[in-house]
A and B are shown apart, each in its own frame.
Chain A
Amino acid sequence: MRRFSGFAVAREAMRAHKGWEKQWDNPELKSSYDVIIIGAGGHGLATAYYLAKEHGITNVAVLEKGWLGGGNTGRNTTIIRSNYLFDESAGLYNHAVKLWEGLSQDLNYNVMFSQRGVMMMAHNVHDVQVFKRHVHANRLNGVDNEWLTPEQAKEYCPPLDISKSARYPVRGAALQRKGGTARHDAVAWGYARAAAARGVHIVQNCEVKGIRRGASGEVTGVETSRGFIGAKKVGVVAAGNTSHVMQMADVQMPLESYPLQALVSEPVKPCFPCVVMSNTVHAYISQSDKGELVIGAGTDQYTSYSQTGGLHVIQHTLDAICEIFPIFSRMKMLRSWGGIVDVTPDRSPIIAQTPVEGLYVNCGWGTGGFKATPGSGHVFAHTIANAAPHKFNEGYTMERFTSGRLIDEAAAAAVSH
C-alpha cells in the first residue's frame, strides 16, 4: 500500500496523479477462507481489518451484495459520542472514541473525525433528571459529559433559540466535548484499503444466499451469487438484513427492521459549530465540512425494508429543527434518503457467538452504530479470533434477551411521565 500524505499528494500533482493505485483490489475469489465476513459496511470492514492487524488472520473475505459502504454506513448522519448510561455501553463506546482519535493515522486515511462536541438538549424536568443521571454516571465511568445551563448552551451553539416562549423551552443541555462527526465514506474506504493492504479480499456484488452447515451443525461456508465459498468461521454484519441472513442458518434474531431517514440542506458557509440532539422534540443536526446541514429524522412507525420513508417523518423533523433554530426556516432541503436499521428490544447491539458453531453476529446497531464502528470491529474481531468475547462486548450476547440481562439505553432515556 502506497502511503497517503501531503507529500504524496504534491508528488502526484506534478504527474497528473498517474501514480495513485487502486485503494483496494477486485481479487480472484478463493474457494475458501479462514473467515468470511458478510457485509462490507463499516463494521464488517473494520472487523476484517482488525482480524488482520490484531490477530494476524489475513485469509479473510468480506462479501458485499452491493458496493462497499453502501448500507447504513454510507447513509448515516455520522454522530459520534460515548456518553451512554450503562457501564457496558460506556466501555464499548468509549473504546470506540479512543480508536476514532487515532483512526486517520492508523488507517493512513483521513476520516475527518471532528470533535466539535455533541450537545443534547433538555426541554423539561424529566429530561433534566435523565441527562443529569447520564452526566453523573459518565463522570464516574471516566466518560466526558458536562451539564450546561441554557445560557451556556447558547454560548456553545449560537443559533440555538433559548427563549422562554418556545413551545418546549431549553432547560439545559448535556455536552460531550469529545463527541463529534466523521466522514462516513472515508471510514468505509479507509478500512477497506487498510484491510486489503493486509491481504483481506473485499468482494463486491457478491450476495450471500445461504449458509452451509456441516454434519454436526457447524458452519462450513456460504452460498453466494458467485457460487459456494468455504469458511471455517462466518461473521454476519449485515445491519438491516441481519434477520434474513441469520435465517439462512436457522437462527431467529430478536430484531425488527425499520426505515430511518436523514436529509441535508444546501451547502452554506460555516454557521453551526457543533452537533445538537434533542430527543424531546425529535431532531438532530450538525454541519458537514461541505457546508450542508445534516439532519436526522426518526424511524417510520412500521417495520419495512423499503429504503424510502414517508414525507411526514421528514416534515416532523424539520418542524423540530426550525423550532429550536428558527433562523433555518429559509434554508432548503437538498437531498433526503433512508436506510434500514435493525433494532433490538433493548436498543443495544448484539456482538456475539451464536448457537451455531463458527457463526458470529454483529448487529442491532439500530439508529446509532456508526459511532461504534472502530470499537465494534475491534471487539468483534477479537470475538471471532478467540471464539470468546472481548471484555467490552461480554454483555452484548443474544442470550440476554432470554435471561433478561438487558442493556436498555432506550428505556434509560425513558419517556415523559
Chain B
Amino acid sequence: MNAPVSIQPNRIPGKGRLSAADPLRFTFDGKTLPALKGDTVASALIANDIHLVGRSFKYHRPRGIVSAGSEEPNALLGIQRDVARHTPNIRATVQEVYDGLEATSQNRWPSLKYDIGEINDIASPLLSAGFYYKTFMWPRKAWDKVYEPFIRKAAGLGKAPVHKDPDHYSSQHEHCDVLILGGGIAGLSAALAAAKNGARVIICDEQATFGGALHFDSDVTVDGMDGFSWAQKVTAELAAMDNARVLLRTTAFGYYAQNYVALIERVTEHLSAPRADLPRERLWEVRAKKVIIATGSIERHMVFANNDRPGILLASAARTYLNHYGVGVGKNVGVYTANDSAYAAAFDLKEAGINIPAIVDVRDNPNEELLAKASALGIRVLTGHGVMAAGGKLRVSSMSVAPVNGGANEVIAVDSIIMSGGWTPSVHMFSQSRGKVTYDADKSRFVPGVYAQDCVSIGACNGTDNLSATIDEAIAAGEDAARAVRHNAKQSATAINATGGEAWEGTLIGAAPGAEAGKVVKAFVDFQNDVTAKDIRLAVQEGFHSIEHVKRFTTNGMATDQGKLSNMHGLAIAAEALGKDLPEVGLTTFRAPYTPVTFGALVSHSKGTLFEPTRKTPMHDSEVAIGAVFEDVGSWKRAWYYPKTGEDMHAAVNRECKTARTNVGMFDASTLGKIEVVGPDAAEFLNLIYTNPFLKLGVGKLRYGIMCREDGFIYDDGVVARIAEDRFHVTTTTGGAPRVLNMMEDYLQTEFPHMKVWLTSTSEQWAVIAVQGPKSRDIVSPFVEGIDLSTEALPHMSMAEGTICGVPTRLMRMSFTGEMGFEINVPADYGRAVWDTLYQAVEEAGGCAYGTEAMHVLRAEKGYIIVGQDTDGTVTPYDAGLGWAVGKKKTDFVGIRGLKRPDLVAEGRRQLVGLKSVDGRSVLEEGAQIVDDPNQPMPMKMIGWVSSSYWSGNAQKPIAMALIEDGFNLMGKKLYVPMANEVIEVEVCKAVFVDEEGGRLHG
C-alpha cells in the first residue's frame, strides 16, 4: 500500500494541503492507482494524469472532469467497496478516496477508450434535440420491440444496484435558532457572529472541509493567516461551542415551508473501514427560526466547439486541484476566459511551474493589473480572441484561437484548457424557499429579490462580490438573527479583517465566439445530456419559446447536475434566438433536491419491521403459541386460523366453525376500533352520527349501529354500548377506527360545536375476547364476579360491568356468529392473562380458538355484513338489507339527505342477497361477476358481484353473499357466474344459511 507519490505524474511536491505521509490506493476500471488521504477520486485521477473518466449520455463522447465540486456533470463513476455496495453515478469530484475504493467508468462498452456507443457521435446530425419525437413511428409494432429497447439501452448512465442494500441510514430532527447553509467565508463569519451572541446555530457545508472558495483562493488573508487556515480555526472554534453544531459533508438539499430545511450528511462514504454501527448517511430535518443562505457561486464554463474534451475544466477547479490537492491539471495548460478569475488560476499554475502557453480572453480590455502581472510572469495574453475549437479526442491536445472579430486561426498545443465564463450566484436554496429572484442586468445574473420565508442570503450567492462587503454582510446577518431570536443575548461584536479577494469582473453567458448561430459545431451547454448551443436554437426555431419548453425539448439542465453549469447559458442562447432580454424569457424552476439524495437516507429507519409499525393484540404471543397463522388487516396482525398438526386451512376453518356452533369457540376481537364517547350530549351526538336511534337506548344496553357518509352510503358499523347516561362505548371495524374517530371529531368541531361531547380512542386500552357457542356461558361464568350471566339478567344485546378473573371488565352479551356469546372487554394489560385462563377452560370443554377466517364464515352463515367487503362505498343501509337500522322517525343524521337522493331510492339498485351454487359444490370466487344471460356477447351486462363466499361446513354447502340488481325481488331466480373457463349456475336466496329464526342467539 505504500505507492510512492512520485508515480503520480501531476502531483506537485510542496503544493496543496494533503500529506504525502498518508498514501492510499484505489482502483479505476480495474487498475490500481495511488492517492493521498484527503483526495477526491477526481483529484487522485488527475494526479495520475487521467482525465478521461466517462462517456456522455447521448453521443457517448469521451468526457473528463470539469469541476471540483457537486456541480460536476461529467465525472460520474460507479463506486463500490464490495459487490453489494455498488452505487452508480457518484461524482468523482465529491467522493473522497478511501483505501481500497473501486471506481468504474460508466456508459461505455466494451471499454472507456473504445466505446461502440460512439457511433452516436458520428450519427449525431441525426440525433438532434427531440429527434425521437419525429421518428421511430413506422412500422407501429417496431416501437415496442426494436426502437424503444434500443433507446433505453443507449440511455441511462450507471448500472442500478442488484443487491439488497447492506448499509443502514439514520435521521434526526433538529430545531435551532439559526441555520447557516454553506461554510465559506460568509457562512463561517455569520455563524461566528450568531453563536457568539448566544444563538443556537447549525452550520453545514457539503464539502469535507469548511472554507468554500478559500479552498482555491490563495490571495485571501484573514486575521493574519491564509484564508483556508482561518476557516479551519473558526470551524474548530465553533465546534467547541455548546450552542453551535458543525456539520461537514452535509448538503442542504431541500427548503420546505416554514423554514423546514432538509440536510443530508455523508457519514461513512469516505472511510475505508467504517464502524458497522455508523449509518452510511444521516438525514437532518431542521426547523430553524432563521436561515442564512451562504451557498456561494458556481463558475460557468465557456460554450465553444468541442469544449467537452477531457482535460478542459473550470479555472477555479484547476486552482482547487493545485492549491488544495497539490495537483496540476496538465503540464501545458491553455486558458480561455471572459472573467478575471481565470487569470488568478493561471498565475497560480504558472508559479507552480506549469506552462501556460496563452490566456485567451474574449474581452478587448481586461483589467490592466492582470495584464501587467501576466506579462511579468511571461504569459502571453490574447485579448479579443476566442477559442474556436478544441482539438484532440480522448484528451484535449490543442486549442484553435482566432480574433473574435474574425481573422486567422492559430493552433496552440495544450494538454489541458481551463476556462471561466464568469460566476453564477447559487440561488437554488433561496428559490426553493419560494423567494423570487431579480435580474442584475449590470452583471448578467439573477440574485435574490423578494423573500418568501424568514431567511437571508449573504456573500456570493447574494451577488456580493467584494470580500470585505461579504464579511460585513455576514456579521450583520449573524448578529441580527441572534438578536431577533435571543432578545436578552449579550452583545458581542465580531470583527474579522481580511485582505485579498478582489471582485472578479467579466462575464459571458451563452455561446462563445465561433459557436454563434449558424455555426455547425458541437459547443456543449449541458455536458451530461449532450445539449449543444445549436440544439437550444433548434428548439426556438421549432416554436419552443418558453424556457421550460426549451429545457424539456432539449433536456438542457435535466441531467444529474440539474443545470448548475448549463441553465444560464441555455437561457442566454434561447433569449438571443428569441430576440428577447434574459429576464423576459425567465428562469426554470429550481426543484429539490439540490444534489441527488440516496433513497435509503430518506427512508432511514422506516424499513422492514419499522416500515409501518406492526400492531399486535395483547394476546398475540398466546396465539402464536397455539399455532395461529396470521393475516395482515390494516397494520394489524390478526390470527387467521389455528391449524392443528396435519390440517390445512380448509380443514382448520371447518373444525373451528363446527366447534363454535356445537360447543364453544374463542376469538380475539381486540383489533376492533373503540371510542369512548362521553358528555351530557353524547346520546344526542350518536343519534346524529348513526342512522339508528340512540336517544332511548337504556343504560346497560347494546345497539348495532350503522354510520353513513353525508352521501348516504355505509361508512362503518359496530356495536355501541351505553355504559351510563352520559357515556358510550362505541366499537368500529378494525380498519375503520381512525377514520371514524376523525369523522366524529370533524362533525363535532365543524357541524355540532354546540354539543358537549368528548371523544377518546380506546382501541388499544381494551383487549376483547369473544366467547361464542352453546357452552359459552358455562365457560365464562366461573370466572365472573358481580354479573349475573343468566339470559334474564343479561339478555342478548346487553352489558354489565364487573370482574373476570379478578380483572375489571365490560362484559357484553352479543354475537357475531349467531350463537349465544359474550364479548369480554378487559384492560389491555390483562388481556393475555384472561385469554390464557379462558382458553384453558375452553380447551378442557372441547372447544377451540377460531381465527378471522372462521369468524367470516360464521357471520356469513348468518348473513351479517362486513363493511368494506360486502359494501364498497356504493351501498346504502337499505341496499344491505339493513333498512331496519335507519331510524324512521329521525329528522336528522349524517347521510339523511344523501339517502333521499333520486338514485339512492331508485328501483333496481344492487341489493345484498344470498347465493347458492346450483351444483351444490362450487365455491364461488369472491369478486366474481354475475350475469343474467351467460351467452350474451362481450361486453356483458353485469348485474352484480359476489362479495363473500365460503364453504360452510355447518350448512354442508357453499354459501355466498352478493350484491345484485333488484336482488330482493329475485329470490329463487337462476343467474350465472361466468368464469374464465366455465359458467357457474347460481340461485338467489336469502342471506341466511343457518338458524334462520335466530333462536340460538338467545341460548
Binding site for B on A (CB under 8 A): 4-6, 8-10, 12-14, 16-17, 20-26, 66-70, 74, 87, 90, 102, 104-105, 108-110, 112-115, 123-126, 129-137, 139-142, 167-168, 183, 185-186, 189-190, 204, 265-272, 281, 287, 289-291, 306, 308, 310-311, 314-316, 318-323, 326-337, 345, 400, 402-406, 408, 410-412, 414-417
Contact = CB atoms under 8 A, between A and B. Distances in A.
Contacts of A105: 137-138, 140
Interface stretch (B156-164, B225-233, B339-347, B619-627): B156-164
B927 A132 contact: yes
Given A133-B928, A268-B159, 12 more contacts: A132-B925, A167-B611, A186-B133, A204-B545, A266-B157, A269-B159, A290-B155, A290-B555, A327-B160, A333-B599, A412-B872, A415-B868
Given A318-B603, A328-B160, A415-B735, A8 B134 contact: yes
Q: For A183, A306, A310, A327, which residue has the most chain B Cβ atoms within 10 angstroms?
A: A327
Contacts of B381: none
B866 A9 contact: no
Contacts of B161: 327-331
23 contacts: A4-B133, A13-B126, A14-B125, A17-B128, A87-B939, A110-B134, A125-B633, A126-B868, A131-B927, A133-B929, A135-B927, A140-B940, A168-B612, A265-B599, A268-B88, A270-B153, A322-B603, A323-B607, A328-B161, A330-B85, A330-B87, A330-B167, A334-B593
B14 interface: no
Contacts of B596: 265-266, 332-334
Contacts of A20: 538, 541-542
Contacts of A417: 633-634, 733-736, 866-869
Given A21-B542, A334-B560, A268 B926 contact: no
A311 B873 contact: no
Contacts of B545: 26, 204
B88 A412 contact: no
Nearest to B158: A268
Nearest to A272: B160
A391 to B, nearest CB: 12
Given A22-B541, A136-B927, A266 B89 contact: yes
Given A21-B542, A110-B136, A311 B285 contact: yes
B159 A141 contact: no
Given A315-B603, A417-B633, A114 B137 contact: no
Given A268-B159, A404-B711, A74 B874 contact: no
Contacts of B144: 114-115
A105 B141 CA distance: 11
B598 interface: yes
Contact of B928 (A16, A104, A136, A404): A136
B901 interface: yes
Contacts of B157: 266-269, 291
A140 B938 contact: yes
Interface in B834-892: 866-869, 872-874
Nearest to B255: A308
Contacts of B633: 124-126, 416-417
Contacts of A326: 164-165, 607
Contact of B873 (A183, A266, A310, A414): A414
Given A310-B256, A318-B603, A404 B591 contact: no
A137 B929 contact: yes
A16 B520 contact: yes
B516 interface: no
Contact of A332 (B544, B597, B614, B928): B597
Closest 4 CB pairs of A and B: A411-B873, A291-B156, A133-B927, A417-B868
Contacts of A320: 611
B156 A270 contact: yes
Given A105-B137, A123-B632, A185-B552, A67 B155 contact: no
B178 to A, nearest CB: 21
Contacts of B132: 110, 112, 289
Contact of A70 (B541, B546, B866, B869): B546
B133 A271 contact: no
A326 B159 CA distance: 15
Contacts of B163: 327
A331 B156 CA distance: 13
Given A23-B542, A269-B159, A333 B593 contact: yes
Contacts of A185: 552-553
Q: For A136, A137, A185, A289, which residue has the most chain B Cβ atoms within 10 angstroms?
A: A136
Interface string B236-269: 0000000000000000001011001010000000
A269 B599 contact: no
B592 A336 contact: yes
Nearest to B898: A404
A316 B606 CA distance: 8
A403 B902 contact: yes
Interface of B: 57, 85-89, 125-126, 128, 131-138, 140, 143-144, 148-149, 151-153, 155-165, 167, 254, 256-257, 260, 262, 285, 434, 520, 534, 538, 541-546, 548-549, 552-553, 555, 558, 560, 562, 589, 591-593, 596-600, 602-604, 606-609, 611-612, 614, 631-634, 711-713, 733-736, 739, 866-869, 872-874, 898, 901-904, 925-929, 931, 938-940, 942, 945, 978-980
B711 A406 contact: yes
A122 to B, nearest CB: 11
B942 A140 contact: yes
Given A5-B135, A140-B938, A190-B133, A323 B736 contact: no
Contact of B591 (A12, A13, A123, A335): A335
Given A266-B596, A268-B159, A322-B607, A70 B940 contact: no
A169 to B, nearest CB: 8
A167 B614 contact: yes
A132 B164 CA distance: 31
A70 B548 contact: yes
A316 B614 CA distance: 16
Nearest to B904: A404
Contacts of B548: 67, 70, 74
B76 to A, nearest CB: 8
Contacts of A168: 612, 632
A112 B607 CA distance: 35
Contacts of A87: 939, 942
Contacts of B558: 335
A396 to B, nearest CB: 15
A199 B597 CA distance: 46
B926 A290 contact: no
A109 B901 contact: no
Given A331-B160, A404-B898, A110 B599 contact: no
Contact of B874 (A12, A167, A327, A406): A406
A328 B128 CA distance: 32
Contacts of A403: 901-903
Q: For A6, A8, A108, which residue has the most chain B Cβ atoms within 10 angstroms?
A: A6
A67 B549 contact: yes
A140 B736 CA distance: 32
Given A124-B632, A190-B133, A289-B148, A134 B598 contact: no
A8 B281 CA distance: 50
Nearest to A20: B542
Contact of B868 (A25, A110, A290, A416): A416
A104 B929 CA distance: 36
Contact of B939 (A90, A102, A323): A90
Nearest to B593: A333
A129 B604 CA distance: 33
Contacts of A415: 735-736, 739, 868
A331 B734 contact: no
Nearest to B123: A13
Contacts of B285: 311
A110 B143 CA distance: 9
Contact of A132 (B138, B140, B602, B926): B926
